[in-house]
A and B are shown apart, each in its own frame.
Chain A
Amino acid sequence: MPGKLKAKIVAGRHLPVMDRASDLTDAFVEVKFGNTTFKTDVCHKSLNPQWNSEWFKFEVDDEDLQDEPLQVTVLDHDTYSANDAIGKVYIDIDPLLCSEAASVISGWFPIYDTIHGIRGEINVLVKVELFNDLNRFRQSSCGVKFFCTTSIPRCYRAVMVHGFVEELVVNEDPEYQWIDRIRTPRASNEARQRLISLMSGELQRKIGLKVLEMGGNAVVGYLQCFDLEGESGLVVRAIGTACTLDKLSSGSAPNTNTHMHPNTAPASNACNSPSKDGKEPVFGEDLTSSSGPPTPFRALPTTSSSPPPFSPSKPCSRQSSSSDTDLSLTPKTGKNTCFFYLQEFPFFTLTSFPPGFLVHVGGVVSARSVKLLDRIHNPDEPETRDAWWEEIRQEIKSHAKALGCHAVVGYSESTSICEEVCILSASGTAAILNPRYMREGCLDIGITDHRLFEEPSPPSCGFCHIPYDELNMPFPAQLTYCYLCRRQKVPDVLFTTIDLPPEAAVTGKGCLIQARLCRLKKKAQGEVNATAISNLLPFMEYELHTQLMNKLKLRSMNSLFGLHIQISVGENMLLGLASATGVYLTALPAPGGIQIAGKTPGELSNEHHILTIQKRINDTIAKNKELYQINPPELTEEVVGSPIPEPRQRSRLFRSHSESSDEVSELDLSHGKKDAFVLEIDDTDAVEDIHSLLTDAPTPTGFYSCNTEIMPGINNWTSGVQMFTSVRVFRLSNANLTNQGLNKIFTDLCENLLKSFYFKLRSMIPCCLCQLNFTVAVPEEELIQVTVTAVAMTFDKDQTQEKTADKPPTKGGSETEEQLQFPLELCADSSSANCQPTSKISGTASVDYGSFADRCSTWLELLRLKAHTMRRGSVKTISSLERCSPLPEGRSRSLRSSRSFGGSSVTVVKMTPLSFLPGTRIIKYLGIINMFFIRETTSLREEGGVSGFLHTFIAEVFSMVRAHVAALGGNAVVSYSMKECMLMENPNKNQAQCLINVSGDAVICVRETDQEPTPSTTNIGHTSASATDEAT
């Protein structure tokens, strides 16, 4: 009996009219937790009822507290017939179970109905009293903190990183139960929402237990996904990284200079990347069995002389190394003994690490497998699904080992389901980590492995140095001595799924690089279908990879970060989308150009054609170099090769060359220049490829884009932030499309989306789109859906390139920029800045800025005035909202009145997919936000068609997230992501249904200039939380 949950229903507002006769509503509220239900009195004839109920008390197990949401249902009382439901609010009380998170949930929640959307708001207060539980065998894991953020959260210190945790739970999908045939769509949707809420609660609790077992107290990089397998059930699965975190006292908060390392990327999006394995996905009984590498790769003429780290030919060597060894992580070279023998999977969902954590990076590892879904017979024993993932993880592990690495970082998993076929994907970056941060068990390795730590590599290039032995290269790569330290070898190209380490040396700026691909496939059923998909996958991965490589070269860059490859399956096609951020790493050699070679050199016209194309390519490369400011220090090849290597090493180098396969040397010979990348034009396909290569529109002036947390080369962020979600669905009208036609359509779709963003956000220039996360799906046969979530952030243009962005200029930037964008945040921010002596000292407050702030404050003044007059005669509860409740964390300090019309307030809640908000400091994490909504309509036309329907729904989801964060006392969501946006429509029946799953971390952040989070001098604080309507 270790907990008491208390809830109080205060008031409602803006309720819908439920009684046509009186144009009013007789509302009452049911509060339900577990099997206990309480009711408020009926508040007759009011659209703004004041219930001011007593405290409803639920005495419950903490296990239930973790699993169950508090369910608040608003109903319209009807004397003669059944009461009509107005809508519901599900409140996740998990944040209250952790002493360091929120202490009370209090605020206005949108009342949500799955058919009608938001219908008014309700003010609710929730508290929890936890009793100590001494039972060792308890099933709950209260107190374990969860973070979506894929780095060590700001304001915490990692004492120890314990490693990978995973769990999955399965259930029958209520939508497919027999009862669904007789119940209303509303009941069915609600059953589903509730079930998923329960399942995620259970999942989180179970993962928490594992973390406690490992001795940790937190999960970082928590990634939870749903697989709606249709008939065969519903799977909720999660992975994360268990850690022991120490809270830093607010004064000694670590360098939160977000401009310097805004590092983490919630690359939580289950991503899959091709990379290191051209592994042929198989299906059926022995699904992940490693069959031989797809043969075509070798024969393909485009294989260059300098294959990338995960070039197609690599699988061979990987295969050989993994086939004969067990899956323990001892790399063949025996050099790096395993740090992680205690752990089955040395995986880390983190994408960004404390300095010194990441020693070397090997390259991307990924695995895919195609499965046929069958009904989950026994939900309590989800063995099949567990086994599937187990296989994939084993494969990833062996890939990592083949790369001489003992760990996988930036790890994520994802699925794509179409009917009964499911593609499971996992990907990550093979790496060698510093054992200092690991569990005790790892420490003894230090002895066997001084090589790594005796002579620590410089942080700016160390991670680029190859982890594998050059004698036993896992794949033929072109190695050179590091261009920075000249002591160790680096590959010519580096692909990773992680964020760019903040300390890495970079030349110029980065940019978003996407490879897009469509492949038609025949419609089929069952195993035939699965085989067809399996056979297509390696080709797709290969082509995506080639595209990425070409585009990288075209931009004159040599590495990819945040690589995320998604392959989506539909009934008659497969879609592949690879996104990454291209960077020029100073430590790596400059990429060679792209050479065009004709198959038939004889023809004159052809020759001419080739020359033209070659010229265009060269021009583009030159232009890109300028655009991304890539001016590496000129180094001759001789310098690289000669000076340092001792004779022994040199001979080894030669030997490794001689050992490499004939084919490689042949290729080497055939193209004279060492690192030129050759494209052969032998058929129309190749021409198309080149065209698509050249048609990527450049980003307009003033814009940059990347899919990582921060843009390499931009450090001086200002505080303009706009998070957005955009969805587009394209209907393929032409029945007999070719692969090429499809590719064109798909590419245009993505390019147009980007163009649209640039246009819409033009007022933010100069600005950068960060964490651009594209998700593709094939919801129906003829439809392609692309969903994008990203954040646009402004930066100070005048102050580029300087790695050590000092504070004062940054502040200056934030002010100037504030005039440009988002006056909402701006109002608050600027006026608070105005009263900060520090910002004045920095001497950046311009005249304009001053006047702007003035204008704002006059407005605020005015609004407050209005609020006052309006409030005359309003009810007690509402006026109490105005009361300031000074809370220690500064959550009370806020401009509640600044936004208040009519005597109540709406807290400004910023949202971002990044782990930080520029110009602010996170002072408290309030808990994880993980929400799942279903919306359905039977009046699609009336709601403005699918676009109107989805537009409203997304806006509603945003508002519900904001309301929950505000109720927790927060003012921002970081590491926000939309994991799922599944739309089904039937315009003929005037119907549509949509499922959305979002997650993130609720936080309180304060302006960086605030030294102490004490209430500032004016009533206009900044945007910190206010919704602590202590309405009593």
Chain B
Amino acid sequence: MTMELDVFVGNTTIMDEEVYQLWLDGYTVNDAVKVRMDGGVMEECEASADVLLSDTMDQYRTFQMCERLLHSPSKLGNQLLFQIPPHRQAMLIERYYTFDDAFVREVLGKKLSKGTKKDLDDIGAKTGVTLKSCRRQFDNFKRVFKVVEELKGPLVENIRHHFLLSDKLARDYAAIVFFANNRFETGKRKLQYLTFQDFAFCAGQLISNWTVGAVGEPADHQRSFRFYMDVDLDKEFLQELKELKVLITDKDLLDQHKSLVCTALRGKTKAFNEMETNFKNLSRGLVNIAAKLTNTKDVRDFFIDLVEKFIEPCRSDRWTAADIRLYLTHYNNSAHILDTFKHQVVWDRYMGVVKSCIFKMYHD
């Protein structure tokens, strides 16, 4: 029985989480009905296909009407049109902003522009995410980016307050915004093995250690808002990183560093020989990455550099994750003992992040 008109409106808005998910995933009404039928709702309460169709249509309409509010979640709480219990509101928002890791992996670090949006159908085809869902996710990234781009204060907090997201999701969005803003390269073949969560972790590290906001209260001259933010890397810090070059340019220092590390490592790992032979190479790699970060181009290549200069050599020598941990810890700590090396603070700030990034990125 097809109806000319068929609506059902409850005083408390009725929403089925399963249907909401289907809607978010970009299913058409008919496909959603099929999925629901296969899911066995019908037996559960003696419903017919007609009933299911009518219910699905109603819910889809409700979601469409809500969508406008979901774009600025704080409105959902004080709008009067729908009476939705607070925990349901939270669910609606959280799910609306949840994204597919496979999808985000594809756009991570890309410019959130019209151009990228045009490629969404390709990405959709590649990741198996429907175009509709791709668009929603992409628009979410863009919307969040636009709102927090110009805001002062901690990025994660800003996202959480403006979009009322859970801490976890807010952190993920912070990562996406951070990557998009700095345009980190993540798409190269060598980086394909890394998941979004790997990158999100690294982004978290960078945000909390390498941005201006990370240092705490800004100096007075930085008060103008463009500075006091953690969307951008701390320019001064990047300048200071150049000083680390001494570790590889000064022959004495390099040798001293090597011997300190080797002494500490001896007998503690099977890969000791490889570590000893590769020390200079690896150290040059890491310090060079640091020294080049003043160039925007090299910032973009930060992750690919880490993989090429450090992770790949280690992997070809079959280091275990424990080996990496051991090596980097001593590599970092030994620098403190070098009496002629004066840049301990910068070194720690740099190595702290690099260390944890490499730990995360090194898959056995």
Contact = CB atoms under 8 A, between A and B. Distances in A.
A863 interface: yes
B155 to A, nearest CB: 15
Contacts, number: 178
B12 A722 contact: yes
A164 interface: no
Interface residues of B, number: 51
B12 A824 contact: yes
Contacts of B52: 759
Which of B5, B13, B77, B87 has the most chain A CB atoms inside 10 A of its CB? Answer: B5
B83 A909 contact: yes
A737 B31 CA distance: 34
B345 interface: no
A298 interface: no
A902 B77 contact: yes
Contact of B4 (A729, A756, A905, A911): A729
Contacts of A824: 12, 83-86, 88
A785 B58 CA distance: 17
Given A899-B77, A951-B62, 9 more contacts: A108-B80, A110-B81, A724-B11, A760-B55, A825-B12, A906-B83, A911-B11, A944-B61, A951-B61
Given A760-B8, A901-B164, A856 B45 contact: no
A976 B6 CA distance: 22
A946 B85 contact: no
Interface string A739-756: 000000100110010011
Nearest to B84: A824
Given A722-B10, A758-B45, A905-B78, A950 B5 contact: yes
> Interface size for chain A: under 10, 10 to 19, 20 to 34, or 35 or more residues?
35 or more
A723 interface: yes
A947 B8 CA distance: 10
Contacts of B74: 870, 901-902
Interface string A809-847: 000000000000011111100000000000000000000
A700 B42 CA distance: 12
Interface string A178-217: 0000000000000000000000000000000000000000
A254 to B, nearest CB: 27
B176 interface: no
B125 interface: no
Given A823-B87, A951-B9, A728 B78 contact: no
Given A729-B5, A755-B51, A962-B83, A13 B78 contact: yes
A176 interface: no
Interface string B51-80: 110110110011011000000011111111
Interface in A861-880: 863, 866, 869-870
A823 B61 contact: no
A799 interface: no
Contacts of B78: 13, 108, 900-902, 904-906
A859 interface: yes
A899 B80 CA distance: 12
Contact of A952 (B5, B65, B84): B65
A959 interface: yes
Contact of B8 (A724, A755, A870, A956): A724
Nearest to A702: B45
B219 interface: no
A62 to B, nearest CB: 31
Which of A749, A955, A962 has the most chain B CB atoms inside 10 A of its CB? Answer: A955
A730 B80 contact: no
Nearest to B93: A901
B46 interface: yes
B45 A762 contact: yes
A948 B85 contact: no
Interface string B153-181: 00001001100100000000000000000
A792 to B, nearest CB: 9
B51 A827 contact: no
17 contacts: A722-B10, A723-B10, A725-B9, A759-B55, A760-B14, A823-B87, A824-B85, A826-B85, A901-B74, A901-B164, A905-B78, A906-B83, A945-B5, A947-B7, A951-B7, A959-B82, A959-B83
Contacts of A983: 5
Contact of A959 (B4, B45, B81): B81
